[in-house]
């Protein structure tokens, strides 16, 4: 076994990740001697991981959801160790959409085996900046490895994070509730330095992986290692069409709809034109405002 450290987020998936780890230890006694950082507090988790990496760990295996993977990727990239410390993933969160796109098994035992025996393979990342807030030559606001989205997706992720418990259908149910009261916000979007879209949006999704929101195929053509972001903009849809469009989004059959705009790009910027919604950042919540995003090919290495 390569020198590694496990990060277990006991709160991920309303406690599911902690239970997943406990069952893995029961079925794999060799894990009892593994180095484990069992923390939900980001600062404490980061301190534990840094100590393990300083002690020689060459991989971090995250047991949790997309937010846990987001935290690990930001630590590895922010500390400049992503070229020598790989990331493994065992799904245990509410969505775990990155695992779906990577082809990591949903069953924890199989995912653990992939993390322990798999080879490090490249994963693109998005460097996300806030113009006027982040220094151009400084570190980005966030590193993201699955999706950056806004519009109704920002409303949904904010609502999901407020829930004390998150059941199996939480994303679909919260999406339907959010759509009922959503009023499109306006923005100006550019891709690779050229104007792409200006006007009202139901959804902006910049995707590295295929799915977000627990399996919604927002970017059915996306690849995690092609150096490109899949930019999907859903403009102002007639409300009577929403019962039809949501299943299309769920199944990845929405790109041919007239109000849907799609482009693959290496960079993207979004400038709000008035009050705006929060951002969804790998399942976490980010404050509204202008952003700039750049794809960094192969920035992270994932065991699979």
- Domain with 74 in it: what CATH number? 3.40.50.10330
Q: 164 by DSSP, 3-state: which? A: coil
Q: What is the DSSP letter of 239?
A: G
Q: 124 by DSSP, 3-state: which? A: strand
Do 133 and 63 belong to one domain? no
Q: How many domains does the chain fold into?
A: 2
Confidence (pLDDT) at 1: 65
Spatial contact of 246 and 175, defined as CB atoms under 8 Å apart:
yes
Cα–Cα distance between 82 and 115 in angstroms, integer?
A: 16
Cα–Cα distance between 77 and 278 in angstroms, integer?
A: 24
Domain extent at residue 192? 126-299
Q: Could you report the per-residue pLDDT of 224-241, keeping only the tens digit for each?
A: 999 999 999 999 999 889
Do 59 and 143 belong to one domain? no
Q: Residue 164 corresponds to which tokens in the numbers above?
A: 């004390």
Among 88, 118, 148, the domain boundary falls at: 118
What CATH number should be reported for the domain holding residue 176?
A: 2.60.200.40
Q: What is the DSSP letter of 212?
A: B
Q: Could you report the per-residue pLDDT of 193-221, keeping only the tens digit for each?
A: 999 999 999 999 999 999 998 889 999 99
Cα 216 to its chain centre, rounded Å, is 13
Do 23 and 65 belong to one domain? yes
φ, ψ of residue 86 to 5 degrees: the values are: -90, 170
Domain contains 216: yes
Q: Could you report the per-residue pLDDT of 274-291, keeping only the tens digit for each?
A: 999 999 999 999 999 999
Among 118, 149, 176, the domain boundary falls at: 118
Domain contains 304: no
Do 97 and 130 belong to one domain? no
Do 184 and 278 belong to one domain? yes
Confidence (pLDDT) at 22: 93
Q: Strands 194-201, 185-191: parallel, antiparallel or unpaired by DSSP?
A: antiparallel
Q: Could you report the per-residue pLDDT of 119-170, keeping only the tens digit for each?
A: 999 999 999 999 999 988 899 999 999 999 999 999 999 998 887 776 657 7
Do 79 and 130 belong to one domain? no
- Indicate whether 249 pLDDT > 70: yes
Q: Could you report the per-residue pLDDT of 74-124, keeping only the tens digit for each?
A: 999 999 999 999 999 999 877 789 999 999 999 999 999 999 999 999 999
Do 148 and 114 belong to one domain? no
Among 100, 118, 136, the domain boundary falls at: 118
Number of neighbouring beta carbons within 10 Å of residue 158: 17
Do 147 and 113 belong to one domain? no
Q: 167 by DSSP, 3-state: which? A: coil
Cα–Cα distance between 104 and 107 in angstroms, integer?
A: 9
Domain contains 64: yes
Spatial contact of 126 and 294, defined as CB atoms under 8 Å apart:
yes
Do 114 and 135 belong to one domain? no
Domain contains 192: yes
Do 83 and 171 belong to one domain? no
Cα 11 to its chain centre, rounded Å, is 17
Higher confidence at residue 84 or residue 40? 84
Phi-psi region of 142 (alpha: psi -120 to 50; beta: other; left: phi over 0): beta
Do 56 and 164 belong to one domain? no
State pTM to two decimals. 0.93
With vertex at residue 284, the alpha carbon angle to CA 281 and CA 285, rounded to the nearest 5 degrees, is 85
Do 12 and 92 belong to one domain? yes
């Amino acid at each position: 076994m390569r020198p590694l450290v496990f990060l277990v987020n006991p709160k991920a998936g309303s406690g599911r990740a902690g239970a997943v780890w406990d069952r893995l230890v029961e079925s794999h006694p060799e894990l009892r001697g593994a180095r484990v950082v069992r923390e939900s507090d980001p600062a404490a988790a980061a301190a534990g991981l840094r100590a393990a990496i300083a002690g020689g760990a060459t991989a971090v295996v995250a047991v949790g959801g997309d937010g846990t993977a987001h935290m690990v990727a930001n630590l590895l990239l922010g500390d400049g160790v992503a070229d020598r410390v790989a990331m493994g993933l065992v799904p245990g969160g509410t969505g775990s959409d990155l695992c779906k796109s990577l082809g990591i098994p949903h069953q924890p035992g199989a995912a653990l085996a992939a993390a322990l025996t798999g080879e490090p393979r490249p994963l693109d990342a998005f460097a996300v900046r806030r113009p006027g807030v982040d220094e151009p030559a400084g570190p980005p606001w966030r590193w993201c490895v699955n999706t950056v989205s806004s519009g109704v997706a920002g409303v949904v992720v904010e609502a999901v994070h407020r829930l004390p418990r998150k059941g199996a259908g939480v994303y679909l149910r919260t999406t339907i509730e959010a759509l009922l009261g959503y009023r499109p916000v306006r923005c100006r979007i550019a891709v690779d330095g050229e104007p792409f879209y200006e006007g009202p949006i139901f959804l902006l999704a910049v995707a590295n992986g295929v799915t977000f929101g627990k399996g919604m195929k927002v970017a059915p053509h996306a690849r995690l290692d092609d150096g490109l972001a899949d930019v999907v903009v859903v403009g102002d849809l007639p409300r009577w069409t929403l019962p039809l469009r949501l299943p299309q989004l769920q199944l990845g059959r929405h790109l041919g709809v007239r109000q849907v705009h799609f482009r693959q790009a290496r960079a993207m910027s979004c400038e709000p034109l008035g009050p705006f919604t929060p951002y969804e950042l790998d399942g976490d919540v980010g404050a509204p405002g202008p952003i700039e995003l750049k794809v960094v090919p192969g920035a992270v290495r994932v065991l699979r």
